Amino acid sequence: MTRAFVFPGQGAQTIGMGRALADAYPAARAVFDEVDAALGQNLSALIWEGEAEALTLTENAQPALMATSLAALRALEAEGIEITSAAYVAGHSLGEYSALCAAGSLTLTDTARLLQLRGRAMQQAVPVGVGAMAALLGLDFAAADAVAREAVAAGPGGEVCQAANDNDPAQVVISGHKAAVERALDIAKARGAKRAILLPVSAPFHCALMQPAAEAMAAALADVAIRAPLVPLVANVRAEAVTDPDEIRALLVAQVTGSVRWRESVAWMAAQGVTEFWEIGAGKALSGMIRRIAPAPAPARWARPRMCWPPGADASALARLRARVGGAHPRALLCPKPTDMEERMFDLTGKSALVTGASGGIGADIARALHKAGASVALSGTRTAPLEDLAAELGERAHVLACNLSDPEAVEALPKQAAAAMGAVDILVNNAGITRDNLFMRMSDDEWASVLDVNLTSSFRLCRGVLRGMMKARWGRIVNITSIVGTTGNPGQGNYAAAKAGLIGMSKSLAYEVASRGITVNCVAPGFIATAMTDKLNDEQKARILTQIPAGRMGAPAEIAAAVLYLASAEAGYVTGATLHVNGGMAMI
């Protein structure tokens, strides 16, 4: 197997990243100490215990992410995995500096100072509000480039709008003047983009507006010693390997205003025979992109989210490292290590969740809650428009995967699509459901079968579809949304009650089977919840329902979402096979 080490860019930062490694490995701790000394500030304290808003500032995020990547590399080296075991190194945007430092081309001190300067220079190059960036999903680079050019041509002249990040075959980021970027959104949608959304960034990176920053970096790099890397660098701007120090210096300057050609870089490495890509650092974005650019052949092992190596690789080193961090799974090595339980509870940073029925009130609130807690979310449902609206509301880390749960082939494909979009499925929420009410004597076979197919059988198929990945990761959360009527029954809903009761029984059985693998399976059973369906009830019907509820009101979708968030979290790791009833006391079970 030929491997490449790849290093993430901005956006992967999270409070607490790398602390477990620093606690376990003196060499990893030394990285953070040296970066602190180089910058003359206690950056490590900000990384581990600071405020997310401060860490997100470009001048802090860039050296912080580099430090975390290098700390991870030092831990690997302590276990006998050297940088020279890779055929190539590469990094996404600022990750290119991490790659060069890892390969010995730049010193750690110089890299930290350069990235702090780079962050400040990029932030100061364009006044806040003048520039913008947007993600175009569903268009390739050529189409996105054409959209950007058309947006400039439609403007008053003198504006900039260009394709900035060629991330994967269906995800390109454009950058430039805000007005031009906003025009590009409408043009992209007209050209068939699945989504076109503004990104919450503070400046228009990787476009001609960054020329002042490029000049600042040229001056800074002129005073820094750059050595030939121990491992060839696949450069963002060139999308091929380089080793000459002068060429590397010039490409680092060009990178500031040039496009990040990540798709081409990964494709180039794959063409050279690379079959293992190890994502060294925080986050999981590169792993997901790589899967979409160059799907792994059967023998290859790809880096999983937040892992420093592929599953199964260097098993003895993995075992030693796990022992050093108290038995933690490698996916947790770069995760925040909670020091304040109130502040850290229910943190899903780096996790990926698939939520069905996300176009409805309860499903949408579940997706919002998981996303707010830090998870990437795959939004599934039959109605594409509300899914796309929700994805636009959530912004980054949201993916639309329309699916008709009555179609067995579509259901079987959904977990694979979610894993391809997000890198993995750590959390599955089976929320989707339908009703076809009728008295038992009048209920047709089709009314019975259709409800069980969507409400029960599709949940079985989705659970089965995500299990292999969860078992390999030795971590997973499955939350099935059942109903109070699955326990109490309800006239006219024999099919619905049977499906929901079956979901409870199925969940308990599965919980027995997978508990030893770190996977929990639980149910949430809502009572009467205020949704579009209950809004159709008249006042008399609502009053009659409320007399049955001791709390005297209907529940809110956000209250169901809160229950799901708990069961999806690390804090619920000892809860499995349970049904959490959220019904205002209507049935005290």
97, 496, 566, 574: which is the annotated catalytic residue? 496
Pairing of strands 161-168, 398-400: unpaired
Tell whether 356 is in a known binding site.
Answer: no
Cα 24 vs. chain centroid, distance in angstroms? 26
Average pLDDT, integer, range 120-124:
92
Do 331 and 306 form a contact (C-beta atoms < 8 A)? yes
**CB-side neighbour CA atoms (13 Å) of 366:** 32
Average pLDDT, integer, range 537-541:
76
Query: Can you tell me the distance from the alpha carbon of 196 to that of 189, in angstroms, rounded to the nearest whole number?
Result: 7
Query: Can you tell me the distance from the alpha carbon of 408 to that of 419, in angstroms, rounded to the nearest whole number?
Result: 18
Strand order in the sheet with 2-7: 241-242, 233-234, 88-91, 2-7, 274-279
Query: Can you tell me the distance from the alpha carbon of 212 to that of 230, in angstroms, rounded to the nearest whole number?
Result: 31
For residue 320, what pLDDT band results from cuts at 50, 70 and 90? Answer: low
**132 or 344: whose pLDDT is higher?**
132
**289 or 467: whose pLDDT is higher?**
467
Tell whether 499 is in a known binding site.
Answer: yes
Q: Residue by residue, what is the 3-state secondary structure of 33-48?
A: HHHHHHHCCCHHHHHH
Tell whether 97 is in a known binding site.
Answer: no
Query: Can you tell me the distance from the alpha carbon of 400 to that of 384, in angstroms, rounded to the nearest whole number?
Result: 8
pLDDT at 6: 94
Residue 266 has pLDDT above 50, yes or no: yes
Beta strand extents in 61-107 (DSSP E only): 88-91
Do 399 and 377 form a contact (C-beta atoms < 8 A)? yes
pLDDT at 290: 87
Tell me the per-residue pLDDT of 213-250, one tens digit each, with 9 for 90 and over: 999 999 999 999 999 999 999 999 999 999 999 999 99
Instruction: Report the number of secondary-structure helices (H) and strands (E) in the chain.
Output: 25, 16
Tell me the per-residue pLDDT of 465-516, one tens digit each, with 9 for 90 and over: 999 999 988 999 999 999 999 999 989 999 999 999 999 999 999 999 999 9
Which residue has 């189409």 as its token pair? Answer: 143
496 labelled catalytic = yes
Tell whether 164 is in a known binding site.
Answer: no
pLDDT at 152: 96
- Which has the closest alpha carbon to 433: 458, 412, 410? 458
Burial class (CB in 10 A: 0-12, 13-18, 19+), 229: buried
Average pLDDT, integer, range 142-154:
95
pLDDT at 298: 31
Pairing of strands 195-198, 131-137: antiparallel
Q: Indicate the average pLDDT of the chain.
A: 87
Average pLDDT, integer, range 80-84:
91
Tell whether 64 is in a known binding site.
Answer: no
Tell whether 529 is in a known binding site.
Answer: yes
In three-state secondary structure terms, 176 is strand
Tell me the per-residue pLDDT of 86-113, one tens digit each, with 9 for 90 and over: 999 999 999 999 999 999 999 999 999 9
- Which has the closest alpha carbon to 251: 27, 54, 100? 100
Q: How close are the terminal C-alpha atoms of the chain, in Å?
A: 55
**CB-side neighbour CA atoms (13 Å) of 420:** 15
In three-state secondary structure terms, 193 is coil
Query: Can you tell me the distance from the alpha carbon of 479 to that of 463, in angstroms, rounded to the nearest whole number?
Result: 10
- Which has the closest alpha carbon to 18: 246, 282, 342? 282
Range of lowest pLDDT (214-223, 328-337, 562-571)? 328-337
pTM summary value: 0.60
Any idea what DSSP says for residue 156?
Answer: S
* CATH numbers and ranges of domains, the chain: 3-125+209-323 (3.40.366.10), 131-202 (3.30.70.250), 352-582 (3.40.50.720)
Which residue has 């890509």 as its token pair? Answer: 277
